[in-house]
Each structure stands twice: as structure tokens, then as C-alpha cells.
């Protein structure tokens, strides 16, 4: 399939967000997929996912978070970035995507990786199934609030009772907002409000985000779905899948692991069509 590729920009609170679009050639309307990248990364880690979704008939958008890191092409300072600002970024990209003539705003898939996975799960829960058709989570960083309470986030160490104004985290400098916003979050209490189809995939050798966080996410989604079914809020259990890739680390750096993950996503999407 021949794909159309364009670079785009949109804005959140006056800050420019740079991104890339891939979609089939033609007028559409095409369903939307928005892919959100990991902490300290940029959309280069998600371009192949966007192209893959475009080949399946989606208008697929990937983008750089504002203040996302030293390699981000979007505006914003890393010292002003947090999970909450990235939630706002994603919502700005959703609005932009829905405004395009070639998209179908009734069909939206959110796909998030690591911190982008946590952000995507929070936005899906906020917008609900009326707006988000399905959710795909690669090694979602639901550990962030726990890490903040422990006083250790990636390479930054601090006193959570006395958070410094800046934190040195490898190649980037974070601001206190990153920690204080995380301390306020209870992700499982929030994300399980989403009642649509969810696909989770995580490696059990992940030393950045422990596999157990996705295990719990799966359990929380399942429990909340069952409770909604029991009281009549749902007529059937939504599709919920959790795939463990044995021996895989964070970001599926081994091509074999990434292939397994994509094969599983493909099966999930195909199953939804039945």
C-alpha cells in the first residue's frame, strides 16, 4: 500500500508540538491512531508503529512531547514537563487529528509506549469509550508514582518530602513539577474507568518498568469491566488482552521481541474485527 506522509504541527498552551502523519493515499475518512513515545525519547521510536497502522488503513499520528527531552523537536522545557503536561499534549494532538478532513473522529485508537503508555491510559479513561475506540499499551510506565514516592526516578534521586527545584536525570534536567505531579497520581484508580478494548504487552525482563505493573493493570481493567457488567453498565466484556514477552527488556530492543509484540497487536486488532 502506498502511504501519504506529512509533517504536522499543533499547539498546547502556546507551545508547538511537531509530529508526523502516515495514512493511506486517498480522501478517507480514515480512523485515527495516535502513538505516544517514551520518556526522554521522541517520535523516532514510534515512526514504525505509525507506518504499520497506516498500512492497516489508519491516519496514524506520532509526535514529540513538549519538553520531552533533548532530542525533542517540539517546544517546551524539560523542567516544565510532567505526566500531566503530556496528557495535555496528547489531547491537543487528538483535537488536531479530528479536525482534519481525511479523518473519522468517531474512531480513535490510542497507542502509548512507557511514559506515553501511562499518558495514553489516563487520556482514554478521561475521554471514555464514546471518544476512544481502543487502547494499546507497550510496557506502560505505571510505576512513575511509586518511583516518585521512593525518591528515585530513572537516574534521579531525591527526598520526596523535600523535592528540589531541579533534578539531574541523565541527559536531561527535570523540574520539581515532574515529581510533584506524579505524587498526586493514583494511576490504577484512574485508568480502570476506561471500558473499551485494551491490549497490554510487557517484557518480564524489564528493569525500567517492572512487569508487575502491567499485571496489575490487566487485573484492574478486568475487575472493573466485570463490575460494570454485573450492574448492567456493559452488555458484554470488552476485549482485554495481556501478552508477556519472556526475556524481553524495556522498549523491546531485540528485534525478535518487537516482532512478537507486533504479531500480538495484529492478532488483537484482527480479533476486534470478528
Which residues on adjacent β-strands are paired with residue 5? 22
Over residues 104-129, mean pLDDT = 96
Query: What does the pLDDT average to over 166-171?
Result: 92
pLDDT in tens, 227-255: 999 999 999 999 999 999 999 999 999 99
The pLDDT score that the predictor gives to residue 179 is 97
pLDDT at 94 over 90: yes
Each residue's pLDDT tens digit, 15-38:
999 999 999 998 889 999 999 999
Residue 61 scores a pLDDT above 80: yes
Over residues 99-115, the mean pLDDT reads 94
Inside any domain, residue 87: yes
Question: Of the candidates 208, 213, 149, which has an alpha carbon nearest to the alpha carbon of residue 183?
Answer: 149
Containing 212, the helix (H) or strand (E) segment is: helix 212-230
* Grid cell in block for residue 110: 490510542
- The span from the CA of 101 to the CA of 59, in Å, is 11
pLDDT of residue 106: 79
> What percentage of the chain has pLDDT greater than the value 90?
93
Residue 229 cell numbers, joined: 457488567
Alpha-carbon distance 270 to 274, whole Å? 7
Q: Which contiguous run of DSSP H or E holds residue 34?
A: strand 30-36
3-state secondary structure at position 12: strand
Parent domain of 180: 3-265
- Most distant pair of Cα atoms in the chain: their distance: 55
- Checking if the pLDDT of 274 tops 80, the result is no
Angle between helices 83-98 and 115-127 (to 10 degrees): 60
Helices within 141-186 (DSSP H only): 144-150, 176-183
Q: What is the CATH number for 260?
A: 3.40.50.1820
* Secondary structure class of 110 (helix, strand, coil): strand
**What's the total number of domains in the chain?**
1
Q: What is the mean pLDDT of the chain?
A: 96
Element (DSSP H or E) covering residue 269: helix 255-272
Q: What values do phi and psi take at 210, rounded to 5?
A: -60, 140
Q: Which residue has the higher pLDDT, 274 or 208?
A: 208
273 is a domain residue: no
In this structure, are strands 15-24 and 59-63 parallel, antiparallel, or unpaired? antiparallel
Q: What whole-number distance in Å separates Cα of residue 31 and Cα of residue 102?
A: 9
DSSP secondary-structure letter at 270? Answer: H
Domain annotation covers residue 23: yes
* 69, part of any domain: yes
Residue 274 located in a structural domain: no
Residue 166: per-residue pLDDT: 96
Give the other-Cβ count within 10 Å of 125's Cβ. 19
pLDDT value at residue 17:
98
User: Would you state the pLDDT for residue 258?
Assistant: 97
pLDDT in tens, 213-228: 999 999 999 999 999 9
Q: How confident is the model at residue 105 (pLDDT cuts 50, 70, 90)?
A: confident
Residue 270 belongs to a domain:
no
pLDDT at position 69 is 86
Q: Which residue has the cell 469491566?
A: 225
The pLDDT score that the predictor gives to residue 43 is 97
| Region 38-59 average pLDDT | 97
Q: What pLDDT is attached to residue 155? A: 84
Nearest 5 degrees, angle CA 62-CA 31-CA 49?
A: 35
Helix, strand, or coil (residue 25): coil
Q: Is residue 272 part of a domain?
A: no
- pLDDT tens for residues 198-207? 999 999 999 9
Any domain includes 271:
no
Amino acid at each position: 500500500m502506498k502511504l501519504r506522509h506529512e509533517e504536522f504541527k499543533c499547539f498546547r498552551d502556546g507551545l508547538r508540538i511537531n509530529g508526523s502523519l502516515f495514512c493511506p493515499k486517498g480522501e478517507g475518512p480514515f480512523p485515527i491512531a495516535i502513538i505516544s513515545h517514551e520518556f526522554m525519547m521522541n517520535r523516532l521510536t514510534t515512526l514504525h508503529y505509525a507506518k504499520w497502522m497506516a498500512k492497516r488503513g489508519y491516519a496514524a499520528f506520532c509526535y514529540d512531547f513538549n519538553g520531552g527531552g533533548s532530542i525533542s523537536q517540539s517546544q517546551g522545557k524539560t523542567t516544565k514537563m510532567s505526566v500531566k503536561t503530556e496528557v495535555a499534549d496528547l489531547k491537543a494532538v487528538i483535537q488536531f487529528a479530528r479536525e482534519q478532513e481525511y479523518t473519522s473522529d468517531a474512531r480513535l485508537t490510542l497507542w502509548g509506549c512507557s511514559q506515553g503508555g501511562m499518558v495514553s491510559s489516563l487520556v482514554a479513561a478521561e475521554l471514555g469509550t464514546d471518544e476512544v475506540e481502543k487502547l494499546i499499551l507497550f510496557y506502560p510506565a505505571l510505576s512513575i508514582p511509586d518511583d516518585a514516592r521512593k525518591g528515585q526516578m530513572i537516574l534521579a534521586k531525591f527526598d520526596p518530602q523535600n523535592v528540589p527545584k531541579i533534578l539531574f536525570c541523565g541527559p536531561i534536567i527535570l523540574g520539581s513539577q515532574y515529581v510533584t505531579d506524579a505524587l498526586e497520581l493514583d494511576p490504577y484508580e484512574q485508568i480502570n474507568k476506561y471500558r473499551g478494548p485494551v491490549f497490554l504487552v510487557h517484557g518480564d525482563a524489564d528493569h525500567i518498568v517492572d512487569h508487575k505493573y502491567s499485571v496489575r493493570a490487566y487485573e484492574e481493567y478486568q475487575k472493573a469491566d466485570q463490575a460494570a457488567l454485573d450492574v448492567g453498565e456493559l452488555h458484554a466484556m470488552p476485549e482485554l488482552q495481556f501478552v508477556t514477552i519472556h526475556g524481553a527488556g524495556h522498549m523491546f530492543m531485540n528485534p525478535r521481541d518487537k516482532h512478537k509484540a507486533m504479531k500480538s497487536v495484529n492478532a488483537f486488532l484482527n480479533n476486534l474485527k470478528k
